[in-house]
Structures are given as C-alpha cells and as structure tokens.
A and B are shown apart, each in its own frame.
Chain A
Amino acid sequence: MATTYEPIATTTLGSAAADITFSSISGTYTDLRLIFEGMAVSAGQDIYCQVNGDTGSNYSHTRLTGNGTAASSSRGSSLAFMRFSDGGSPQTTNTSVTKVDFMGYSNTTTYKTVINRADNSNRGTDAVVNLWRSTAAITSIKFYISSGNIASGATATLYGIKSA
C-alpha cells in the first residue's frame, strides 16, 4: 500500500501577520487538509480564506455552531471569502484549532467543496461547508482572519492526501 498522507508545508508565525499563504500547490493529491492552531491579536475575529487570489463574490457557506448554550445555523452567499469559524474563532488568549478539508481540490470538472471543523474551548465549536464556484484547480490558499493580524506563534500545516 502506498503512503498517501503527506505534509506539504508548515508555517509557524514568528511575529503577528496578516495571513498565512500557501502557493504553488501541485495537483498531485486528491484532497488537501489544512490544520491551523493559533490566536488573534484582537478579539472577535473569524477565520477567512481565499483561493487562487480570487477576491470576487464566488464563495458561499453554511455554518453549524454550538456556543455552550444553544446550537444555531446560518449562511453567507456570494461572498468574497470562505468562512471557517464562528464559535470556534480564535481569541486573544484562547487558541482556535481549525481542520479544513479541500475535497477534490485539483479536479477541473466541479466547483470546490470545502468542509471544516473549528473549535475554541472558551467560545464554541463549528462545522462548516464552503463552496468556491470555480472549476479551476486550487493552487494557492490564503488563510487570514476577518480583521487585524494572526498572533505570533500560530501554526498552519498543509497536508496532501492521495487516493489510489
């Protein structure tokens, strides 16, 4: 059996930064998985993402959130970004752990579906599905927060998963 789960790149922030970007992603895998662990410089930020430098209104999502008291669901349509978190967003003193799966990221037949979990033990938990309305292969991923910087010490790792 082939080994099929490979780390592509890891970034650990030595100082606060506006984003973490992975580029020149090869199309040799079936899926991509991105795992983020980190905090935000300012409070109340959500985790966003753009792919292939696309800043158009080509993204949408459906969220499921639990905040310790109640479960809720909401959505965003025709947005300029993917959204990965609500209750699971990073805080200034509590980390968010976010696991994102880019399904069939390199196929050029279908739009891209991205599913993720985001968790913050002090705030809440999310399950989210995002759609990027493009049949282009994903070759770059910009991971950022809704306002301000990602805090120093945050880590993001991109993995490639290859099927038989």
Chain B
Amino acid sequence: MSPILGARGGLAASAYGFTSGAAAVGNYESIQTVTVGSGGAANITFSSIAATYSHLQVRCMYNTITNADNIGMTLNGSTTPSRVHYLYGDGATATAGSTTSNLFTIQAGANATIMYGMVIDLLDYSNTNKYKTLRSLGGGDFNGSGVTWLSSALYATTSAISSFTLQGSGGQLFTQYSSFALYGIK
C-alpha cells in the first residue's frame, strides 16, 4: 500500500474508509490482464473463469487501429445479447435506443494515443437460475469530439459465464497498448 497522501485546505486527519461504490478490501481480486502488442488484436478472450466470485468486472482502456468500431461481447463462445439498451452523448445530443445486435459500446474514432475507458460489470455471472445482465460505463474524448455512454445488455442464457470475448463488431483490430483487466468481486 502506498503512503498516505497529503491534503490541503486545513483538512482533518486522514483515515482509511469506504463509501458507496467501493469494494471492500480483500474482496476484489485481479484474475487476468491482457495487453495488446504491436500489430493489434482482433479480439480479447478470457476463458476458464472460475465460479468463485459473485460478480466480474472488466476495466478496459482501448482503441482500434484504423477506423472507429463498436465493441461487442460474446459469452461462452457463442452467446450474443438478446437485447442491448444504451444511452450516449456525443457532446451535442443525448441518444437512447436499443438493439438486438452484438453492440455493447458506442465508439467515435480511432486513435493510437487516446484510449477509450470502459468498465463492464457482469452481474451474478455464475448463477444458473437466471439470464445474465451486463452493464457498462465508458467513453472517449478527443478534444473537440467524443462520446460517453451507459449501456446494459441481456444475454438469454442460464449457463454460468466461464469465458467471454470482446471484439470490434465491424472487425477492427484493437490497437497496441490496449489493456483489458478482469477482476472478481466476492
């Protein structure tokens, strides 16, 4: 753990603590990280995921090499979403909609230096009694253009999620240094 950091403005003494949105220490574990090398990558797959957590979270920092592309997620090798609802803003207009295509994010541009940020939650991923719900918060800003979004996706499967793949829905490659980190939340 890093040293306690300074604070300004006549502040009271610091103390460790938690507020809403924080995972309890010890209950949030790193499972695997994939960082894209030179030449890019067509897809990112996490497999053999143990069912020992309550939820999964994927923290992504990514872009595509040539053209903008939306990102889709396939579960267990073949399951695509039966419905995705999204709300996004492009700096001028807020747009809400839904789709049955394998669309999970809204992407606005390709860039090697600027990455999109996205956090995906796979909720109750190992429960075999109900369909799976995923949600994401993400965005990318390019100083004059960009997009930020919220989305949720329903996957009509009761199977536990043991693997998933992220890929550009239009076939674009993830650029070098794109990073995808999978965490388990107990």
Contacts and interface: CB of A to CB of B under 8 A. Distances in A.
Contacts of B179: 30, 104, 163
Contact of A110 (B90, B92, B114, B146): B114
A112 to B, nearest CB: 9
A10 B17 contact: yes
Given A133-B143, A160-B2, A115 B138 contact: yes
Interface in A92-132: 97, 99, 101, 103-104, 107, 109-111, 113-115, 117, 127-131
A37 interface: yes
Contact of A157 (B18, B33, B148, B184): B18
B37 to A, nearest CB: 13
B88 interface: yes
A137 interface: no
B141 A14 contact: no
Interface residues of B, number: 67
B137 A62 contact: no
Interface of A: 1-15, 17-26, 28, 30-31, 33, 35, 37, 60-66, 70-75, 77-78, 97, 99, 101, 103-104, 107, 109-111, 113-115, 117, 127-131, 133, 135, 150, 155, 157-164
